[in-house]
């Protein structure tokens, strides 16, 4: 975590009438990564992202983007940042292309950016339709195209696949995946879908009820899902006693004995020990905690996702 | 600034604002000219430039607040509808700049309306053969007074239109203003100067004087006190609205 952080917040908090939708959040988004900001509905994702863009003021804490304080360099930071927050923004009485032209003039970018952004989100054939007549998915694509228009260094997308059909979701995910390598864009995206973050992100921050519960690489999150070896024997209490004398303490001992993080050699040795002591071993099973289990464990939420 | 202003004009295409302005002006001018025609028929002394300036100024008290409310609401509502305000303020264009652009855009449309009005008044006077050349000095004062009042009214409307999503509030305020502007003659001077909508009449270079046996139009020099009061209201409404809207959380 020593490389340059594109986004860095410190004790970022927001208070609304006594409640803390965002509570002391320390985000670190490194250059070139796709950071998945994951949390159930109402966890505080949108509120956090709005504070990063200066749409709302933090009640406490600081935001640094590109190493600069948001308070002091807001406009220069915004110039290098594209965003799509909550529902997509569009002028319904104008066509998709006219909407893009507005963004183009605000962003001061050449015509070819408009064409390219429209092509990337596959709206080039619908660009002369009024945005009011777009489906929700098309509006979402337009929103992404507008966010992407200047090919910013940092792209902040709040639930970017909301309202898209499965094919559209796949397409947009592929698009997002390609951004860091193709355009050097760092992506910060929020989602309430674990599977989405799992597929897309290189780093992840898990937020629940305003607090950041985990932050790190996707790999380190998966590692939390350690494997457990389950043993079933003819006489579990006796087996447990015997194994304890050899320094194996089971993490779980009901109908079967569970051991965390055992190497193959250990498993073989335990088996040998039991058999030599005339305790029949009826099952040896390996179980890996799924990402979902880890997530549910962290957030303490039942399947509200 | 030119860029953001240009964008405002770009954004109001297909909003049919021009048609609305023409319709509104058309009704107002038709109504005014018919009523002047009638009073000339009953009293030929009324066939003078002053009568048309006075009539239009007093009718503006009714029409322009409503027209201003409509125009400003059209310009502001589109940001609420597609929630584009949050998109605008996450580009590197200052919020204050967007606010100013909208203000200038709305007022420029209203200025066109006032100029069109003046032109129609001149044409009407020439057709009716009012004595003397068109009184340019009075007309310029009429334009100045109407524009100044409009600047304040628009500032207030823009504040409300951007602060409150539901445009019914802004339109109601416009109608209330029009109602006050129309009935302002019934209020005592001390009270009427509080209401910006009364200034359409009060900043007019022509006033109507009743005395015991006759009534007549007299030209008046508008007191600088009233001009300053209108200016102060403009600044207060504009600055308060701009600060409120730029600091508002989204
Ligand atoms: N303007 C506001 N006033 C009061 N509470 C708010 C406001 N905005 C958001 N909240 C609350 O903050 C919490 C987090 O909301 P949000 O950031 O939108 O969650 P998410 O985007 O993760 O679904 C919610 O409980 C919501 O009700
Ligand atoms: Mg949200």
Please identify, by atom number, the ligand 1 atom nearest to the C-alpha of residue A56. 1
Tell me the backbone φ, ψ of residue A166, rounded to 5 degrees: -50, -40
A21 lines ligand 1 (CB under 6 A): yes
Please identify, by atom number, the ligand 1 atom nearest to the C-alpha of residue A44. 17
Spatial distance between the Cα atoms of B222 and A132, rounded to a whole number of angstroms: 49
Ligand lying closest to the C-alpha of residue A50: 1
| Cα of B119 vs its chain's centroid, Å | 16
Structure tokens at A183: 């355009």
Q: What percent of chain A has pLDDT over 90?
A: 65
pLDDT of residue A259: 85
Residue B6 — very low, low, confident or very high, per pLDDT cuts 50/70/90? very high
pLDDT of residue B212: 66
A86 lines ligand 1 (CB under 6 A): no
Other C-beta atoms lying within 10 Å of the C-beta of residue B37: 13
Angle between helices A136-148 and A111-120 (to 10 degrees): 140
pLDDT of residue B110: 98
Q: Look up tokens 């207030």; give the residue.
A: B156
Ligand lying closest to the C-alpha of residue A85: 2
Paired with A37 in beta bridges are A190, A205
Cβ of residue A81 closer than 8 Å to a chain B Cβ? yes
Higher pLDDT, A249 or B135: B135
Cβ of residue B92 closer than 8 Å to a chain A Cβ? yes
B-chain residues within 8 Å CB-CB of A102?
7, 10-11
Tell me the backbone φ, ψ of residue B83, rounded to 5 degrees: 40, 55
Number of continuous H segments (helices) and E segments (strands) in chain B:
10, 2
A46 lines ligand 1 (CB under 6 A): yes
pTM score of the predicted model: 0.88
pLDDT of residue A302: 52
Mean pLDDT of B192-206: 93
Does pLDDT of B216 surpass 90? no
Q: Which residues of chain A have pLDDT under 70?
A: 1-3, 225, 301-305
B222 three-class SS: coil
- Nearest Cα neighbor of B118 from B32, B187, B197, B47 is B32
Spatial distance between the Cα atoms of A284 and A274, rounded to a whole number of angstroms: 12
Burial state string for A101-110 with b = 16 or more CB within 10 A and e = fewer than 16: bbbbbbbebe
**Residues B34-93: tens digit of each pLDDT:** 999 999 999 888 899 999 999 999 999 999 999 999 999 999 999 999 999 999 999 989
Structure tokens at A170: 């796949």
Does pLDDT of B209 surpass 80? no
| Helices assigned H by DSSP within B129-166 | 136-163
């Amino acid at each position: 975590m020593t490389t340059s952080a594109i986004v860095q917040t410190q004790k970022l908090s927001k208070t609304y009438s006594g409640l803390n939708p965002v509570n002391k959040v320390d985000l670190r988004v490194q250059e070139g990564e796709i950071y998945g900001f994951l949390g159930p509905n109402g966890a505080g994702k949108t509120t956090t992202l709005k504070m990063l863009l200066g749409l709302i003021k933090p009640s406490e804490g600081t935001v640094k983007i590109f190493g600069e304080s948001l308070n002091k360099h807001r406009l220069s930071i915004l110039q290098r940042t594209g965003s799509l927050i909550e529902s997509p923004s569009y002028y319904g009485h104008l066509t998709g292309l006219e909407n893009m032209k507005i963004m183009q003039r605000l962003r001061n970018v050449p015509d070819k950016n408009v064409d390219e952004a429209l092509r990337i989100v596959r709206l080039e054939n619908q660009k002369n339709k009024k945005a009011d007549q777009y489906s929700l998915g098309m509006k979402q694509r337009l929103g992404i195209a507008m966010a992407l228009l200047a090919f910013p260094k940092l792209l902040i997308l709040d639930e970017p696949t909301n309202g898209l059909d499965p094919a559209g979701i796949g397409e947009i995910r592929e698009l997002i995946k390609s951004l860091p390598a193709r355009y050097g864009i760092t992506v910060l995206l929020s989602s309430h879908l674990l599977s989405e973050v799992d597929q897309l992100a290189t780093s992840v921050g898990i937020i629940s009820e305003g607090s950041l519960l985990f932050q790190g690489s996707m790999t380190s999150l998966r590692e939390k899902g350690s494997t457990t070896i389950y043993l079933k024997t003819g006489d579990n209490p006796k087996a447990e006693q015997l194994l304890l004398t050899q320094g194996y303490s089971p993490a779980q001992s009901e109908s079967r004995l569970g051991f965390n993080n055992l190497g193959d050699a250990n498993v073989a040795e335990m088996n040998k020990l039991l058999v030599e002591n005339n305790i029949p071993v009826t099952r040896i099973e390996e179980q890996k905690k799924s990402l979902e289990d880890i997530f549910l464990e962290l957030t303490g939420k039942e399947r509200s996702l | 600034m030119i860029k953001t202003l240009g964008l405002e004009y770009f954004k109001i295409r297909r909003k049919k604002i021009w048609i609305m302005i023409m319709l509104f002006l058309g009704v107002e001018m038709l109504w005014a000219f018919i009523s002047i025609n009638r009073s000339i028929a009953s009293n030929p002394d009324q066939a003078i430039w002053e009568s048309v300036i006075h009539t239009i100024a007093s009718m503006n008290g009714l029409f322009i607040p409503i027209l201003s409310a409509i125009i400003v609401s059209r310009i502001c509502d589109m940001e609420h509808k597609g929630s584009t305000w949050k998109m605008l303020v996450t580009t590197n264009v200052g919020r204050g700049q967007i606010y100013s652009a909208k203000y200038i855009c709305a007022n420029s449309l209203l200025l066109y309306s006032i100029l069109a009005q003046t032109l129609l008044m001149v044409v009407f006077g020439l057709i009716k053969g009012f004595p003397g050349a068109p009184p340019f000095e009075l007309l310029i004062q009429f334009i100045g007074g109407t524009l100044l009042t409009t600047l304040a009214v628009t500032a207030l409307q823009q504040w409300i239109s951007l602060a409150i999503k539901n445009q019914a509030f802004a339109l109601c305020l416009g109608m209330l203003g029009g109602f006050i502007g129309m009935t302002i003659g019934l209020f005592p001077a001390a009270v009427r100067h509080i209401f910006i909508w009364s200034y359409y009449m009060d900043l007019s270079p022509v006033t109507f004087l009743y005395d015991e046996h006759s009534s007549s139009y007299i030209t008046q020099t508008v007191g600088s006190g009233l001009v300053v009061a209108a200016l102060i209201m403009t600044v207060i409404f504009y600055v308060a609205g701009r600060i409120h809207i730029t600091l508002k959380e989204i």
